[in-house]
Structure 1
């Protein structure tokens, strides 16, 4: 395996480890629904999200857990193959590595807890963004980077 590919896999592993450490810390210090305010606009909370982004499909009877685990693993496998193919580039495999790390981090939660552990909550007064976690942040950063790379590439006629 090329050295750079191993490095990109290492970055994915680092995202997974950091994601799981932060979730374990929150689980050790907070009860479900409990929050610790840090600023007027941010607090740590403990929320379990059985759905996807913005609690999509969270009201289903449990089948979504396995659907999202399979989806995360399937997409991660595809992105790892792309990561290997583009290993000598910089931005594209970085994007893939972030997404893979985040997807697997959340898949671990679904497998272990039956839902994703979310804990970062930003708000203004009573209006807030849905709680999220480090894995979600890595996925969003990776997708944004993928879009940026695509916008920067010259178009072929």
Structure 2
């Protein structure tokens, strides 16, 4: 059986070996409909996988950034409580700390205010406050407390 297409032939016998590409045949330029379909599918699968990985990475990066900003905001509120507990009479406020740092934009300030005023964040703030108070960071936090003091 000879191939009508000279690009798909067995090296030794010269027969059409499109159905047996793994048994020593020569398939040139993806002319075999079976292997061509497989090659196209593999390429498409690779491209789709690459796109999905890119989307997942981007989504994960955005989610991580939002989580980091949330944790930063919770920590700012928790530090207010740490400062007020470790320095009675300080009457510290997170607003003072935010006002003293020009790098804090309005979006972050808004997030901090939301966490401070919303009771649903009370347990999360209390947990961070407790963690800071029980750690060696409490002593180091005293330097930061001056930022929370009234100006």
Please, what TM-score do these two structures have when normalized by structure 2? 0.26
Which has a greater percent of strand?
Answer: 1
Which has a greater percent of helix?
Answer: 2
Higher gyration radius (CA):
2
Please, what TM-score do these two structures have when normalized by structure 1? 0.25
